[in-house]
Each structure stands twice: as C-alpha cells, then as structure tokens.
C-alpha cells in the first residue's frame, strides 16, 4: 500500500515537474560511481521470479507490453559498471526530480521490473530501462536485474522505441523523434505504427509535425510554456512563418502575446493570417482532396469547415499548382485562337511570365489598367419559370431572351470579323489567379509623312494607315522577337567582353578580317575607302557586308593605308591637348609619325610654334637676368650698410712722385626697363629725369 502511494506521488510529480535538458552533474557523478552513491552496506534487492513480468510500481506509471521473450532469454543481476548507455532510447533527457523520487523508491522496494540489455563486447548495452538504470545508480545499488536478449541493431532499436513510446510520461518531442526514427529506419510506415501503438494516423502525423518546430518554440514546449496542441498548430506552418509567429506573439516583450489564448483561437488566427483558402484558386484540386496539408482533412478544422472550406498548409505546392494552371490555360487559349495576344497588367506571377517566355511565348505589357479594355458581348441569362408569377410573364421573358440572344450572336459575329480584319485586338490578360479575355478597338491612324518629289521639293502630307491583319501582326511580332533576341545577346555579350581574357594564340584569318573591317568602320569614311581602292558594286557607298568582304581580300598596300588611318584617328583622339611637354610620349609619337608621313605640314606646324616659343623664352630670359642682377645689387648694398665703422689707417709717407692715382668714380648701376612697361608717373621728377 505504501509503495502504491509512492508510485502515485511519483506519477503526479513526473507530470507537473519542470522538464530539464539533462540529468545534473551530481546525478551523473552518482551514475559513474553507483556504489559510492548509496549506502555501501546496503544489499541489492533479490529478484523474484514472479516480478520479472510485473510492472514496477515505482519506476513506471502504467503496465507495458513487453516484447516477446526469446528462447535464449535470461534474467540476471548485472553489475552496473558492466552496463553501457543505450544508443536507441528516444528519450535523451530525464527530469532530475523524478529520478530522485524513483531512486528513493528503489531504496525502499528495490527494482521490481528488470531492464533489458543485450551483450556488447565484454559487457552489456541497455535496450530499454535506462531511467531505472540511472535511478538504481543514484540509489547506491551495485547490481540491477536485467533481461538479457540477443538482439540485432534493428531489433534493439524497435524494442527501445516500442517500450518507451508505450509510457505515459514520454515527452511529446521525444515521442515525435521516436516516430520519425521508426519511419526513417524503413521498417515501419504510418499504417504499421497505427496498428502497433493504437494511435490514430492524425495523431501520429501531428506528433511528427513537432519535429519541424523551430528551436525557440521547441524549447518552450520542452519547458511546458506552451501546450502540445499549440505547438502542433504552429508546427503545421513553414519555418519562416513559425519564426514570425514566435517574434510577434510568444517572445519576451512581444506586443501581442498568444500565450494565454486557447488552441482553437490560435488555430483560427493562424488560419486567417497565414493560410490560403483553396476555394480562391481555380486549378484542379483533385489531389488536394486527400492531401495531408489540406486543413479539411484535419480533425481540428472539421467543425469550422462544414461549408466545404479548406486551406493549404503547403504554400510551395499551392503556388506551383497555380502557376502551372495559368501557364497551361494561357497556352491553350493561344492555340485555340492564334489571334490572341497574351498580356499582363502587372499582376502576373513572375514564375508564370518566365515559364511562358522560356516556352517561346511573348507576353505583352499593357499600357493601361485591365478595366480600360472591353469585356466584349455578354451572353444573356436564360429566364427560369419559377422566377415568374404567371406563364404569360415567363413567355414574354422568353421572347425577350431570344431577341437578346440574336443580338448577342450578331455582336459576336461582328467582333470576330473585326478581329480578323485587325480592327480589334483580343487580349488574354494573365492575372494572379486566372486569365480574362478583353478586347481593344484599333482605329485607322493618320500619320504625317514627308514626301520627296524632287531635289529641293519636300512637303508633308497625312496618310491613313490601316492596322495590320492578325497574320501580318504575327509576322511583325516575329521580326520584333528576333530583334529582341539579338538585342539581349548583344547586351550580355558586351558584359562578357568586360571580363574576358584574350587568348595568346595565332590570329585566325577570320579574326584578321574582323580587325580590318573594324578599322574601316571606325576610321574610314566613304571617300577615304574609295581612295584606298575600296569601291562599291552598286551605288555611291559600300554596304557593311561589302566592307566586310573587302576586309577579307585586303592587299598589303590597303593594309598599310588602314594602319596609318587608324594611327591618325588614334593620335587625333588620344593625344593630350593640355599639360604637354617635349617629354610627353604621345605628343612625341604623333610628331614623329607626322614627320614620316606629312613632313611638310609637320615641319610647318612645329617650326611656327617653336619660333614663338624661342622668342618668348628669350624675353623671359632677359627679365630673369635683370631680376637676378637687381637682387645681387640689393644684397651688396645691404651688406655694406651692415659693415662696422673702423678708424682709417694712417697713410705712409709718400714721396712726391709716389702719390697714388685717383681711381675713376664708378658709373651707377642702371637696370634696363622693359619696353612694354611704361614709366611710373608717380615717381619724383628728379628720378624721372635720371631715368
């Protein structure tokens, strides 16, 4: 009786306890040294033959169906130190609180239900019963009763999954991981798991969804901060939506918390915000009727979808089906009536446009909104007898209906004629969910045209341009499509040329032809081409193809002419016009090339400007010399003023004939003035006179 109470307490505690990621370090230490963890003098419980198949009231919460006993089955007391952990147990984490309670119960009553092991090397590996193993270690037992079975890896995995999934205290995500592992093994299907564990297919599928929870929500589920039902509903959506839901409604400090909301309310909010209703789409939904992602097939939504509503949880599949539907319908409309023009008003999915373009169909961008274009004749509704009070009113309605149908037929016939004549364009406008047929009237256009009646006689007139027929329009479209094709090729090829590495190999003949043609195009005018011997077969100028053909049979003399023409053009455009000196390379090259080919003109130009330069240089040199002389005179005057006063030396007595000659007074230094500089009128008169 006492044991049963302890079991009940353990069961309740196990359900309400906070889940921890793993056993604490203290528990792990006890497990590594099971003898030291408990009372060394305590004797292990003796196994009873009648206890082998019984349920341990302390260790478990409900009876379990043990795997079938093999003939070689053996139950023995095994040393805990000879047993290694299980690699197949889907339960990776154990609550420390419940392990401690189980360990205390084992101290009192012993291990009443043996664990299951299989031989492994010199010891044994746990198949199931790992929780009892840890609790026995914490209780200080040295030995534990064990059911020894010879199992393969596959059998051991199945036994571990079966035993653990049949327990009531297994965590939801551990249960989900076990189902997933069973399916991944290839030995089970959803149907076999339903029969094995007595769970419904919907239950197993909902559990499997928990494997797709993002880490943040999975942690909340493990800590019991959200319920299994809430986690299952959120897990039905892709990871990006899960993250958005967590950030907006479950994260700390979120603006609108859903933590206290009921499961059905959360499911409704998720459905309204993130679910797409299948009834909004026009593609074939036959496959959707039995699809697991169809919310109508899920128990939780059956009450809410009594009217036939359904949502798709697999948005990628839904979008793919919708895009395929639009592409197929557009192609069919075009094949049924080749006069149809595929068009978009900006609402067409990009994937649809890309698919049509890749298939060779051109989709025109409309200039106006879809509402600018006409829907065309609308078929009248046939009257229904139950809508009228008397047979006479119904008869009148029928007569009116027949008149409307006749008018509809006439308008339809006229519309078809106008389309064939090119006066009405038929559009198939591809929207986001479907395709609409619209029409646009094309009137005759008056264009201003310049007419040349003579050399100097030009005038402008207005002519009426009839729209092309559908056949002519298609041919024009083909020409335009070809232009678009090669426009794209040219644009992208230019980008290739930006990063291309030129091959270091001999030139091919065609490459040489291309080079000389490029030179002719770049630097040779029609007159120069004729001077070099390139003459057209007809007309006054060479066509591009004639120039290319001439480049393929070019002579040595023509090659020289093209090279020189290219150099002339190069120097003309590349040689700098500012900051040039006699050391500028391009300037020197240009002058040297001109000396070799245009000697007279070159010398004339060079000599003209060199003479000017020499004159300017001479005048500047005069000014430089004058300034230098003035600076030297000023420096001398300053040095004399700064010399110290000294007593004059006594002159030696000289004989009359030894009187020293008087040196002439030196002329004052006069700096010549620049003739271009006028005298300063502000100078004193005496200085002006002296000057």
For residues 140 and 40, the answer to whether their CB atoms sit within 8 Å is yes
d(CA 310, CA 290): 12
Question: In whole angstroms, how large is the CA radius of gyration of the chain?
Answer: 52
d(CA 496, CA 503): 14
DSSP strands (E only) in 339-491? 340-344, 364-365, 424-430, 435-441, 445-452, 458-465
Which two three-digit tokens encode residue 508? 């091919």
Antiparallel, parallel or unpaired: β 115-120 and 143-148: parallel
Alpha-carbon 27 to chain mean position: 49
State the DSSP code for 45: P
242: nearest Cα among 253, 256, 230: 230
Which two three-digit tokens encode residue 77? 């007391």
State the DSSP code for 80: G
Which two three-digit tokens encode residue 477? 């479209």
Annotated active-site residue in 101, 130, 157, 163: 130
d(CA 190, CA 206): 12
Residue 213: count other Cβ atoms within 10 Å of its Cβ. 24
The residue count of the chain comes to: 691
For residues 332 and 293, the answer to whether their CB atoms sit within 8 Å is no
Antiparallel, parallel or unpaired: β 74-79 and 143-148: antiparallel
For residues 304 and 268, the answer to whether their CB atoms sit within 8 Å is yes
State the DSSP code for 447: E
**Residues in contact with 531: Cβ distance below 8 Å, sequence separation at least 6, in sequence order:** 561
Residue 164: count other Cβ atoms within 10 Å of its Cβ. 23
User: Position of tokens 């206290």?
Assistant: 260
Catalytic residue flag (residue 367): no
Residues taking part in catalysis: 130
């Amino acid at each position: 009786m006492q044991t049963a109470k302890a079991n009940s307490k353990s069961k309740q505690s196990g359900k309400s306890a906070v889940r921890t990621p793993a056993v604490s370090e203290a528990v792990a230490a006890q497990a590594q040294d099971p003898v030291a963890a408990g009372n060394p003098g305590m004797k292990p419980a003796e196994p009873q033959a009648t206890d082998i198949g019984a349920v341990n009231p302390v260790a478990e919460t409900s009876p379990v169906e043990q795997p079938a006993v093999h003939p070689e089955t053996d139950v023995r007391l095994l040393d805990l130190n000879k047993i290694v952990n299980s690699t197949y147990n889907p339960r990776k984490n154990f609550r420390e609180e419940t392990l401690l309670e189980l360990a205390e119960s084992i101290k009192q009553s012993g291990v009443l239900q043996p664990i299951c092991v299989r031989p492994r090397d010199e010891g044994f590996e746990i198949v199931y019963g790992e929780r009892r193993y840890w609790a026995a270690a914490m209780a200080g037992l040295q030995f534990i009763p064990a059911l020894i079975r010879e199992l393969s890896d596959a059998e051991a995995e199945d036994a571990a999954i079966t035993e653990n999934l049949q327990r009531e205290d297994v965590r939801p995500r551990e249960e989900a991981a076990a189902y997933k592992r069973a399916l991944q093994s290839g030995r089970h299907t959803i149907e076999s798991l339903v029969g094995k564990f007595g769970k419904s297919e919907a239950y197993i599928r909902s559990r499997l969804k928990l494997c797709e929870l993002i880490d943040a929500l999975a942690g909340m589920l493990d800590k019991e901060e959200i319920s299994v039902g809430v986690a299952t509903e959120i897990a039905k959506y892709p990871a990006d939506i899960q993250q958005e839901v967590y950030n907006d409604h479950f994260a700390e400090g979120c603006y609108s918390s859903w933590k206290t909301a009921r499961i059905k309310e959360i499911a409704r909010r998720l459905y309204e915000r993130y679910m797409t209703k299948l009834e909004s789409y026009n593609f074939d939904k036959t496959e959707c009727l039995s699809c697991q992602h169809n919310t109508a097939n899920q128990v939780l939504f059956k009450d809410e979808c009594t009217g036939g509503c359904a949502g798709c949880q697999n948005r990628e599949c839904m979008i793919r089906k919708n895009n395929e539907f639009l592409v197929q319908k557009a192609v069919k409309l075009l094949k049924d009536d080749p006069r149809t023009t595929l068009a978009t008003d900006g609402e067409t999915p990009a994937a649809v446009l890309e698919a049509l373009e890749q298939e060779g169909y051109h989709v025109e961008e409309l200039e106006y909104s879809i509402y600018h274009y006409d829907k065309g004749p609308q078929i009248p509704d046939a009257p229904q007898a139950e809508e009228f009070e008397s047979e006479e009113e119904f008869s009148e309605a029928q007569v009116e209906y027949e008149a409307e149908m006749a008018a509809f037929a006439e308008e339809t016939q006229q519309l078809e004629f106008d389309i064939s004549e090119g006066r009405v364009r038929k559009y198939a406008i591809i929207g986001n969910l479907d395709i609409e047929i619209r029409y646009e009237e094309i009137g005759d256009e008056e264009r201003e045209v310049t007419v040349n009646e003579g050399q100097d006689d030009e005038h402008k007139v207005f002519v009426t341009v009839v729209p092309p027929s559908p056949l002519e329009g298609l041919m024009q479209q083909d020409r335009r499509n070809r232009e678009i094709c090669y426009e794209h090729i040219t644009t992208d090829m230019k980008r290739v040329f930006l990063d291309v590495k030129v091959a270091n190999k001999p030139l091919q003949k065609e490459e040489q032809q291309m080079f000389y043609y490029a030179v002719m195009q770049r630097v040779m005018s029609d007159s120069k081409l004729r001077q070099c011997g390139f003459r057209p077969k007809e007309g006054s100028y060479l066509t591009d193809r004639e120039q290319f053909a001439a480049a393929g049979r070019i002579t040595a003399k023509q090659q020289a002419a093209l090279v020189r023409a290219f150099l002339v053009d190069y120097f003309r455009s590349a040689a700098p016009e500012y900051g040039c000196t006699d050391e500028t390379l391009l300037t020197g090259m240009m002058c040297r090339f001109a000396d070799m080919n245009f000697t007279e003109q070159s010398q004339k130009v060079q000599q003209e400007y060199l003479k000017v330069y020499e004159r300017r240089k001479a005048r500047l040199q005069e000014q430089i010399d004058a300034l230098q002389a003035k600076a030297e005179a000023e420096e001398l005057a300053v040095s004399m003023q700064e010399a110290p006063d000294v007593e004059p030396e006594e002159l030696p007595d000289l004989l009359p004939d030894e009187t020293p000659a008087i040196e002439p007074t030196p002329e004052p230094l006069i700096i010549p003035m620049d003739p271009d500089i006028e005298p300063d009128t502000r100078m004193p008169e005496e200085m002006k006179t002296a000057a």
